[in-house]
Amino acid sequence: MNFESRVALITGAGSEGGIGREIARQLSKKGAEVILSDINEDGLQTGIREIEDLGGIAHSITMDVTNKKSVQQGVKEITENLGKIDILVNNAGVSRPTNVTEISEDEWDLVFNVNMKGVFFLTQAVLPYMEEKNYGRIVNLGSVSGKRGGGIFGGSHYSAAKAGVTGFTKAVAREAAKYQITCNSVAPGLVGGTEITSGLLTDEKKKAIQNDIPLGRVGKVEDIAYSIAFLVSEEAGYITGEELDINGGSHID
């Protein structure tokens, strides 16, 4: 896989130990010019320095995926400066481990806005530029929670939003195919060490979870990033509307 001359925008890449940052590292290592975006400005600066230290080309853009104006401005700025966006990874996400009877309307809206509406805003803003070039790769972050119902660290709002991402991905895949744009999603199982899971994943809990994973360990950010790198590569050009499970066998359908 070679991403030279490709421009990749990754949302939620500010979190140091997060999946988004690892996607940026992997794509950059293979030659892509990467744009890290997040609401965490300090995290973005650290991310850029890290990628530049590894010899890559990185830019940052502060963008709140729940804010249409912020997204449209951010995407406009990128395309004005770099001419295009070849790859979009909708990775920004939040989760709350709240029982359905306890979820407030504000919490429901937050979880839906970041995980679902943000994917819509980014896709809507980036697609016209991809269509213009007759090329594009989009990957959205779903979750095993959206498939089996109930996450380990996510409530029903998180499951519902991630299931929504799956349906949205399939519909966009059909619409965008005539421009040679592919749109897929990935559904990770539990990934350790990220902001979403840190703190909540005690050693005891980790042991219990691992016992339920046929491959015997929780996921690493690299497991997710390698699969996404494949889905956004030239080589995956005939795969669209697909959801890839990356969960060590914890959910097989």
Ligand X SMILES: NC(=O)c1ccc[n+]([C@@H]2O[C@H](COP(=O)([O-])OP(=O)(O)OC[C@H]3O[C@@H](n4cnc5c(N)ncnc54)[C@H](O)[C@@H]3O)[C@@H](O)[C@H]2O)c1
Instruction: Look up residue 77 and give its two tokens.
Output: 């700025």
Per residue in 134-164, is it b (16+ CB within 10 Å) or e — as a string?
A: ebbbbbbbbbbbbbeeebbbbbbbbbbbbbb
Close Cβ partners of 145 (under 8 Å, ≥ 6 residues apart): 151, 152, 154, 158, 159, 162
Catalytic residue among 129, 135, 158, 238: 158
190 lines the binding site for ligand X (CB under 6 A): yes
Q: Does 191 bind ligand X (CB under 6 A)?
A: yes
State how far the Cα of 77 lies from the Cα of 81, in Å rounded to an integer: 6
Judged by CB under 6 A, the residue of 141, 181, 231, 244 near ligand X is 141
227 binds ligand X (CB under 6 A): no
Catalytic residue status for 179: no
* Binding segment toward ligand X, per CB under 6 A, in 36-44, 75-83, 205-213, 233-241: 36-44
Token pair 């130990």 is found at: 17
Select the residue interacting with ligand X from 26, 28, 79, 143 (CB under 6 A).
Answer: 143
Show the site string, 95-114: x = touches ligand X by CB under 6 A, - = not.
x------------------x
**Nearer Cβ to ligand X (29/206):** 206
Say whether residue 89 binds ligand X (CB under 6 A).
no
> Toward ligand X, which CB reaches closer, 134 or 217?
217
CB 73 within 8 A of CB 134: no
- Minimum distance from CB of 4 to ligand X (Å)? 26
**Dihedral of alpha carbons 90, 16, 69, 5, sign:** negative
Residue 167 neighbours by CB distance under 10 Å: 13
* Sequence-separated (6 or more) residues with CB below 8 Å from residue 199: none
Which residue sits closest to ligand X, CB atoms considered?
Answer: 93
* Binder of ligand X out of 15, 79, 123, 156 (CB under 6 A): 15
- Contact residues toward ligand X (CB under 6 A) are 11-12, 14-15, 18-20, 38-40, 43, 64-66, 91-95, 114, 141, 143, 188, 190-191, 194-197
